[in-house]
A and B are shown apart, each in its own frame.
Chain A
Amino acid sequence: MLDALIQGILLGGYYAILAAGLSLMFGVVRFINLAHGDLAILGAYLVLFAVEVLGLSPWVAVAATLPIMALIGWLLQATWFARTVKGGFLLPLLTTFGLGAVLQNGMFGLFGSDTKSLGNHIGNLSWASWQLPFGISVGQLPVITFVVAVTVLGTLQLVLSFTRLGRAIRATASDPEAAELSGIDARAVHRAAAAIAVALAGLAGAFLAMRALINPYAGPAQLIFAFEAVVIGGIGSLWGTLIGGIVLGVAQSLGATVSAQGFQLAGHLVFLAVLGVRLYLAHSRNLGGWRSLLPALKPGRKPAARLQHATSEGRS
């Protein structure tokens, strides 16, 4: 039980990396990228390619893949996503869902249907563990993943808070037109956000491939998990994705102790429950009365507040 709890918390680190990019895109570009999970798997395959074909060491391969993924994100935003956002809320969903299908089947065509893993390229890291007091042991890889997640989120936080780019991103997220009036190129900011988001997806994919077996069709499940972490943690909140990831990870890992299918089921149910509570609170605030005294689930204020239901603002 305690073991499952610790595993779940550490798993949350992976989800935080995966979800941070999705959340950033949603917060800044107001765009839900349904191919986010498939991009993560693409990143994993690029790392695998660099390791198996080019013979790079795994960590060098990850470092080499991230700029490529960032470039892919930049190009996607520049050539494609920017075009779809103008077309109302329907078009981004349709086209990124289509992109997902292209990526899945394209990867299947290029890399084959075999499940693959980075696990056998990272030495004993894939199974080694540290012994803690009270007979608890924690896997080294999950701990590293968690530390990387906190580092990534912390760095992102610093970038958003203290750099020119960060200020531009926050300004664009809260009001693109006002940001443009102050001399910010909102489109350039969107491209930067997409580059960061896709690079983060690639990083998450690399960690997934170290921990588990992947195949070209693993992306949609990862998208669902990422989205669940974003919603549980509060849309538009950076550290919320870590909390959401941890809640999701703990739910899944406790569910897995009940049955193999319980892993996914418990995560889905927590997600639906959070959505249900959020809807109920919004509903009861509308009705007034004693229920409006219940604390509101406010979305986080960083990187940008007022981002929930951003997609509903686009009209077709």
Chain B
Amino acid sequence: MTHYNVERWTRSGRLTVGAALAGLVVLVLLPAFASGLVIDKLTTLFIYILLAVMWNLLAGYAGLVSVGQQAFFGVGGYLALRLVDAGLPPYLALIAGAAGAGIAAIPISTFALRLKGGEFAIAMWVIAEVLRILVMFDPLVQGETGTSLLALNAYDPELRRNLTYWLGLGGLALMLAGTFWLLRSHIGAAAQAIRDDEDAAASIGIDVMRIKQIIFVLAAFGCALAGTIWLASAITFLPRTNFGVQWTVFMLFMVLVGGLRTFEGPIIGALIFFLLQEVFGNLGVWYLAGLGVVAVGFALYLPAGLWGSWQQRSGLQLLSVNVVLRKSGQSTETP
């Protein structure tokens, strides 16, 4: 009988968390030193990272490929607009709007999560379209014309920029920590078991529906939060843009390039996407077509993504969501 020591925290894991916390402190203080442009760009980067991590949580860890996450991105922004219209202070409304979209995800989940594979993917897309059309019926949104979060103009531009930045940073940090904790909990293990074999997972007593629901609602809230932060930085709300399927294309790209099913991969993917956007964004449609080609190429030839393949080669995990079983100096990963 061999004995294993179960390790939750590896040395590299502790170091990474320490570095992340240090980085967080630097980022919180950054507006005091950096120019407005840098702050704006970083806010956009936070939104991308948040979206990528949320999509990976759904598709990578729970096996739920949704092409309709723009539903929550859009609904979050819409609810925030409504709440501001009802008299709530703007920044509170942004958070409450995201929470509202998360709550709206609960009834949607009871329906959508009973569908499988491609049906789930397309049903989510249809739900996003239905929500967009319903939102466009609201006179506040003025149909195709859209509207703006004018209440934010009451703030001094620099203060507004910094507040939006801190909202993005805080939201991202909380969601990253929450996702990390969730994936390391029994829920994360159960979700991966469901992804790999739903029937087998159910047979060992996992409440499949409940686990999927938790992941789905958390991912919806994350996407909605990204949507409200986007609203705060863009000010305008255009139904076809905020509910646009391009958000899902971006998420797909970031996750596939960075590495599906790794915690760090989507963050790397978002960084790459952000840099590509900065360098090639002005090339327009050929750049977007190129993104599609790269995403497909990764899916076919490097399905683990950049980080995933590097991890397989080097054996290094910075933030492992798995436990490490250690036996006489050897280490074996187990999900």
A90 touches B59 (CB 8 A): yes
A276 touches B130 (CB 8 A): no
**B271 within 8 Å of A (CB atoms):** no
Chain A nearest CB: distance from B87 CB in Å? 29
The 0/1 profile, CB within 8 Å of B marked 1, for residues 142-186 of chain A is 000000000000000000000000000000000000000000000
**Residues of B with C-beta under 8 A to A34:** 67, 118, 121-122
Question: Is B189 located at the chain interface by the 8 A CB criterion?
Answer: no
Digitize B263-306: 1 where CB-to-A-CB distance is under 8 Å, 0 elsewhere.
00000000000000000000011101101110110011001000
Do A261 and B129 have beta carbons less than 8 Å apart? no
Quote the shortest CB–CB distance from B301 to chain A (angstroms). Answer: 9
- Check B129 against A264 for contact (C-beta < 8 Å): yes
B293 contacts A315, C-beta separation under 8 Å: no
Q: A90 contacts B293, CB within 8 Å?
A: no
Main secondary structure of the interface of B (DSSP, over half): helix
Q: Which chain A residue has the least Cβ–Cβ distance from B121? A: A93
* Interface residue tally for chain B (C-beta within 8 Å): 46
Residues facing B in A197-212 (CB within 8 A) are none
Interface residues of A (CB under 8 A from B): 26, 32, 34, 80, 83-84, 87, 89-95, 97-102, 104-106, 108-109, 220, 223-224, 227-228, 231, 261, 264-265, 268-269, 271-272, 275-276, 279, 283, 309, 311-312, 314-316
Q: Which residues of B contact A (CB under 8 A)?
A: 59, 63, 65, 67, 111, 114-119, 121-123, 125-127, 129-130, 133-134, 136-137, 143, 195-198, 245, 248-249, 252, 256, 284-286, 288-289, 291-293, 295-296, 299-300, 303
Which one of A32, A105, A108, A109 lies within 8 Å of B122 (CB-CB)?
A32
B303 touches A91 (CB 8 A): yes
Shortest CB-to-CB span from B39 to chain A, Å, is: 30
B245: contacting residue among A220, A231, A312, A315, CB under 8 A? A220
Q: Can you report 17 A-B residue pairs in the complex whose CB atoms are below 8 A from each other?
A: A34-B67, A34-B121, A94-B299, A98-B292, A101-B292, A102-B292, A105-B286, A224-B122, A261-B136, A264-B129, A268-B129, A271-B126, A275-B115, A309-B116, A311-B118, A312-B116, A312-B117
Q: How far is the CB of A231 from chain B (nearest CB, A)?
A: 7
Inter-chain CA distance A100–B65, complex, in Å, is 16
Query: In this complex, which of A105, A283, A312 has the most chain B Cβ atoms within 10 angstroms of its Cβ?
Result: A105
Name the A residues within 8 Å of B196 (CB-CB). 315-316
With contacts A89-B117, A228-B126, A312-B116 known, what are 17 further pairs, Cβ within 8 A?
A32-B121, A34-B122, A84-B300, A93-B118, A94-B296, A97-B248, A98-B296, A101-B249, A101-B291, A105-B285, A105-B289, A109-B289, A224-B126, A272-B123, A276-B111, A311-B116, A316-B196
Shortest beta-carbon distance from B277 to chain A in Å: 14
- Quick check: A261 and B133 within 8 Å, CB to CB? yes
CA of A83 to CA of B137, assembled, Å? 44
The residues of B that contact A283 with a CB separation of less than 8 Å are: 114
- Identify A102's interface contact among B117, B119, B296, CB under 8 A: B296
Find A95's partner among B134, B289, B300 (CB 8 Å cutoff).
B300
Whole-angstrom distance between the alpha carbons of A279 and B173 in the complex? 38
